[in-house]
Amino acid sequence: KGLFQDVDTIEKARRKVRIITNNLKASCLLLDHDGEQYLRMHDVVRDVALQIASKGKHIFMAQAGFGLKKWPEQVNFDHCTAISLMANELCELPDGLECPKLETLLLGRNKSCVSIPASFFEGMKGLRVLDLSHSQGFNGKTDLVQQQEWPKIQGTLLLPLSLQLLTNLRTLYLCDQVLGDVSIIGKLRKLEFLSFYNCEIHELPDEIGELSNLRLLDLTDCYALERIPAGVISRLSKLEELCIGGRSFRQWEVASTSKEQSNASLSELITLSRLTILAVVIEDVICLPKDFHFRNLTRYNIGIGCDSGRYPNSNSLQLGQVCSPLPSAIKELLRRTEYLSLSWLGKCYHNIIPNIDQEGLEELKCLKLYCCDKMECLIDTTQQKQLVAFPNLVELHLDGMNCMRVICCGQLPAGFLQKLRVFVATNCRKLCNIVPVLGSPYLEKVEIERCNKLQFFQQCEGILVEDEPSTLKELKLSYLP
C-alpha cells in the first residue's frame, strides 16, 4: 500500500504497477506467463523476496500450492501481517484464530470443501484484503456426479456474521463461488474493491448500495444474475470501474417516470461522475436514454444485442441485431473503438463507412463482421469522398457476409488497410475482389474458405509477385473456385 500513497485513481495505480512489473521483468525477477495478463516468479526468487519482506513490522507467511489439507498448526500467527494459503486442499478453517496484525488473507483456489466457522474473522479486525475466490464449495456437500459435470457447483458460500467486524476491509474477492445471501457485505463501509467474478448469484442485494467508498465492482460472467435493484448503482458515487460484461446481467429497464422500476436502468450510470472503465451488456439500444453519453470513459467493453468480448486492455464494442440508426452515444464510442464486432445488422447498413461511421475509424485495430446480410462493402467512396479509412486496422474477419462483393466500392482512400496483418474470410458467397487486402505491405496471414466467386490467384497478380520479398507467413485456401 505504501507504493500507491500518491495515486488517486485505480487507472493511475494500474499504470504504476505496469512500470514496476516491467522493471522487475527487465531484471529477470519476474517472468511472463500465459500472455500479458499473467506473471510468474521463480521459487528461489520468491523465497528470497519473502525473507527480505518479512523484516521489521511486516511478517509474511506463504504456503501457497503446498497441498495442505489442514490449517498449519506449528505456525505463530500473532505477528503475521499477510497470510497466503492459496491453491491448497484445506477442508476446514480454525475457530478462534487470533491475528491482531493481519492485513492480508488469501485463501483462494482451495480444491476441497471448506467451511467458515461463525467466529473465524473475530480475531483479525485489522484485515484489509480478503480473497475467498475459486474455493469451489464453501460450506457445501460435494456430489461426485455433479462435480464431474460442473466442478464449481458444490455448495453455497455462506458468509459468517463475523465478516461484518472487518470494518477496515478494502478489498474482497468472492470469484467463482455459488453465493447465497451476501447482504452482510453492505456493513463493510470502507470497502473499495468488490469482485463477484463468475459467481452464481441471482440478485445483487440493496445493501450493496451502502458501500459509499466502493471504487470497483466486478460482476463479470455472473450468468444467473437477474436483478440489480433500481438505485443501487447510482448510490455508488465513487465508482471508477463497473464490470458487468460477458454472460452477466442484461435486464436493464428503460428509464420511465410513469412507473416504479424493479431493475436498474442505464440512466443510473450518468450520475457516476468518476466512472472511467465500463464493461456492460445491453439487450437492445432502446435501453439507452436519449441523453445518455460515455464521454468520461477511458476504457470500455460494451455489447449491445450480443455478449461483450474479452479485450481487457482495449476499447471494444460488439453490436448485434441492430436494425435502427445508432444512438449518438454509440457513434461517440466508435471513434475510439479498437475492437469492433458487428453481427446480424439490419437492412439499413450497406457498408461500414459512411453508413455506420463517417470519421474513418482511425483507432480500429480489429474488425469482425458476421452475417450482416445487406452489407455490400466495407467502405463506399462513391457516396462521399473519404480522406482516411481503417489506417490502423490489423485484423479483418468476414464470416457469412453473403452480400459483400468488394472491400472498397470506389476510389481507395490514402493509407487504406496499410497495417493489415490478418485477413480471414469464410462463407462469403459473393466476395470477388480483395485486392486492397492483398496490397497491404505487412500482410502475414490469409485464410479464405467457401468464397464461391473469389479467384484468389488472379487477385494476386502484380501484388504478391513483386521483387520485394512477401511478408506472408500463413496461407490457407479451401473450397474456392
* Predicted structure pTM score: 0.89
Residue 178: inside a domain: no
Provide the pLDDT for residue 4: 67
Residue 293: inside a domain: no
By the 8 A CB rule, do 222 and 194 touch?
no
Residue 221: inside a domain: no
**Vertex 389 angle, CA 388 and 392, to 5°:** 105
By the 8 A CB rule, do 304 and 322 touch?
yes
In whole angstroms, give the CA distance from residue 306 to residue 302.
9
74 to each of 61, 70, 77, 387, how far by Cα in Å? 12, 11, 9, 72
Provide the pLDDT for residue 362: 95
In whole angstroms, give the CA distance from residue 403 to residue 399.
11
3-state helix, strand, coil in the chain (%, to 5): 15, 20, 65
Work out how many domains the chain is built from and give that number. Answer: 2
Range of the domain at 10: 1-53
Backbone angles phi, psi at 458, to 5 degrees: -65, -35
In whole angstroms, give the CA distance from residue 35 to residue 38.
6
Query: Does an H or E element contain 425, and which?
Result: strand 422-426
Provide the pLDDT for residue 138: 42
In whole angstroms, give the CA distance from residue 199 to residue 153.
10
Residue 21: inside a domain: yes
Amino acid sitting at position 172 = L
358 to each of 344, 372, 389, how far by Cα in Å? 21, 19, 9
Residue 371: inside a domain: yes
Provide the pLDDT for residue 143: 32
In whole angstroms, give the CA distance from residue 80 to residue 455.
70
In whole angstroms, give the CA distance from residue 264 to residue 235.
12
Of 10, 27, 53, the position where a domain reaches its end is 53
Length of the chain: 481
For the chain (481 residues), the mean pLDDT of every run of 10, in chain order, is 72 88 91 77 87 82 89 86 92 88 93 78 96 62 31 70 97 93 97 96 97 97 95 97 94 73 90 95 88 88 84 85 88 94 92 93 97 95 85 98 95 93 97 92 95 85 61 92 84
120 to each of 124, 156, 163, 164, 180, how far by Cα in Å? 8, 17, 8, 11, 19
Residue 47: inside a domain: yes
- Reading the block at residue 129, the C-alpha cell is 484484503
Residue 278: inside a domain: no
- Reading the block at residue 153, the C-alpha cell is 457447483
In whole angstroms, give the CA distance from residue 401 to residue 377.
10
Provide the pLDDT for residue 57: 80
Residue 253: inside a domain: no
By the 8 A CB rule, do 205 and 227 touch?
no
By the 8 A CB rule, do 458 and 433 touch?
no
